[in-house]
Copies of this chain bind each other. A is one copy, B any other.
Amino acid sequence: MKKHNFSSGPSILPQEVFEQAAEAVLDFNNSGLSLLEISHRSKDFVAVMDEARALALELLGLENKGYQALFLHGGASLQFAMIPYNLLGANQKASYLETGTWAVAAAKEARLFGEVEIAASSKDANFNYIPKEIGVSPDASYLHLTSNNTIFGTQIQSFPEVTIPVVCDMSSDIFSRELDFSKFDYIYAGAQKNMGPAGVALVVVKESILGKTGREIPSMLDLQKHIKGESMYNTPPCFAVYTSLLTMRWIKNNGGLAAAEKRNREKAALLYAEIDRNPLFKSTVQGEDRSVMNATFVLTDERLQERFDALWKAANISGLTGHRSVGGYRASMYNAMKIESVQTLVDVMKEFEKQA
């Protein structure tokens, strides 16, 4: 019996994607060959990469606007270094909005390449809100944002308007909502939340912001080389790219980002309503900063933990334990999660209240 998987990442993907990916491992496109054993330069795989790159731009509404989509090795963590390597000159400054663990990690890598200013930080309150007043130097090379903070359960709902290029880590909410993505110059996302399995990152970059630092860049970190190589500068992580393509097709076939956002808001509303109503639970984030993807909450009486844990595990729920830096619980409700799974969790919370 399939579990209700609230894991924060790697995380749930659509069941049909699992089935199609497994089939491709056995026999890809009825070719008599596994997806894992065919050349990345073969006609069949080039078609996968081309469709994946085009569909990423299509879902974001960024076709024919000077953007390139790339599927790269290294996850979002390698992007933390690639961004300053490609965008931050040695005597330049970059501005980082510090909203959580990953934003801090991204800024740390940038300091190896140039000056870093912190536009604002919510570290004072264990990152339980998104700072609204931010100070960005107009001469900074770029502003770096993290749109959704998986660990702390916060999400930027209203993006700052600035005149410099905006770089955004959308690892945990890519393809989960409609936005005017043309306001961003560099979007990146590790696949393993809303897009695919671990082992690949999507980078969507406006070509015009590249090539300005005068720095020599190792080939595998050079975005212009990856663009020239049509995202196959070296052998790409073929299985992770293909499975990401399957997920993007699923998103498109189910109404695109508008429908995904509607489903995600319904799931989040259902769960947050119960967290707010049920006296045994308390949200760790208030108001508009709450993430639609990851709801973090704690017990009002920690002595009841064992009893609650037994209840949700018995209901075939998994992956609900919160990150050690927040504690409590975290329900990740990515694109592929059905509202029935959230309802199961809400039912468990109500049952817990009855029994307490």
- Confirm or deny: A46 has a beta carbon within 8 angstroms of a beta carbon on chain B: no
Give which listed residue, B34, B74, B109, B235, contacts A13 with CB less than 8 A: B34
Say which residue of B10, B21, B74, B233 sits within 8 Å of A220 (CB atoms): B74
Q: Does A37 contact B12, Cβ atoms closer than 8 Å?
A: yes
Roughly how many angstroms separate A34 CA and B246 CA in the complex, as a whole number? Answer: 15
- Choice from B1, B9, B39, B200 contacting A7 with Cβ under 8 Å: B39
Q: A25-B18, A216-B112 are in contact. Are A75 and B7 (CB under 8 A)?
A: no
The answer to whether the Cβ of A124 comes within 8 Å of any Cβ in the partner chain is no
A81 and B192 contacting across the interface, CB-CB below 8 Å: no
A80 touches B220 (CB 8 A): yes
Task: Decide: B220 and A37 in contact? CB cutoff 8 A.
Answer: no
Contact stretch, chosen from A180-188, A237-245, A283-291, A295-303: A237-245
Taking the nearest CB of chain B, how far is it from the CB of A46, in angstroms?
13
The answer to whether A10 and B40 have CB atoms under 8 Å apart is: yes
Closest Cβ–Cβ distance, residue A26 to chain B (whole Å): 5
Q: Which residues of B contact A233 (CB under 8 A)?
A: 77
A316 to B13, CA, bound (A): 35
Q: Which of B39, B74, B221, B238 contacts A197 (CB 8 A)?
A: B238
- Contacts of A1-57 to chain B: CB distance below 8 A: 1-3, 5, 7-13, 18-19, 21-23, 25-26, 31-34, 36-40
Closest to A192 in B: B235
A100 interfacial contact with B, CB 8 Å = no
Known A73-B74, A199-B237, A239-B198: A7·B37 in contact at CB below 8 Å:
yes
Counted per complex, copies of this chain come to 2
Assess whether A319 is in contact with B81, with CB atoms less than 8 Å apart: no
Measured in the bound complex, the distance between the Cα atoms of B236 and A18 in whole Å is 19
Alpha-carbon gap, A25 to B24, bound state (A): 11
Contact A3 B199 (CB under 8 A): no
Cα A190 to Cα B18 in complex, Å, equals 25
Q: A112-B218, A238-B197 are in contact. Are A26 and B36 (CB under 8 A)?
A: no
A199 touches B39 (CB 8 A): no
A23 contact from B22, B80, B81, B198, Cβ within 8 A: B22
Cβ of A316: which chain B residues have Cβ within 8 Å of it?
Answer: 32
A: interface residue count bin: 35 or more
Alpha-carbon separation in the docked complex, A109 to B219 (Å): 7
Q: Is A254 an interface residue (CB 8 A)?
A: no
With A and B bound together, what is the CA distance between A108 and B220 in angstroms? Answer: 12
Binary contact track A209-238/B, C-beta < 8 Å → 1, others 0: 000000010111100000000000111111
Interface of chain A residues 48 through 76 with chain B (CB within 8 A)? 73-76
A7 to B73, CA, bound (A): 22
Q: In the assembly, what is the distance between CA of A26 and CA of B13, in Å?
A: 11
7 more CB-based (< 8 A) A-B contacts, given A5-B33, A21-B25, A85-B218: A3-B32, A13-B36, A19-B26, A75-B234, A109-B219, A198-B237, A199-B239
19 A-B residue pairs with CB within 8 Å:
A10-B37, A13-B34, A18-B37, A21-B25, A36-B243, A73-B237, A74-B220, A77-B219, A77-B220, A77-B233, A77-B234, A80-B218, A81-B218, A105-B219, A109-B218, A109-B219, A198-B238, A199-B236, A240-B240
A residues whose Cβ falls under 8 Å from a Cβ of B: 1-3, 5, 7-13, 18-19, 21-23, 25-26, 31-34, 36-40, 73-78, 80-81, 85, 105, 108-109, 112, 190, 192, 196-200, 216, 218-221, 233-240, 243, 316, 318-319
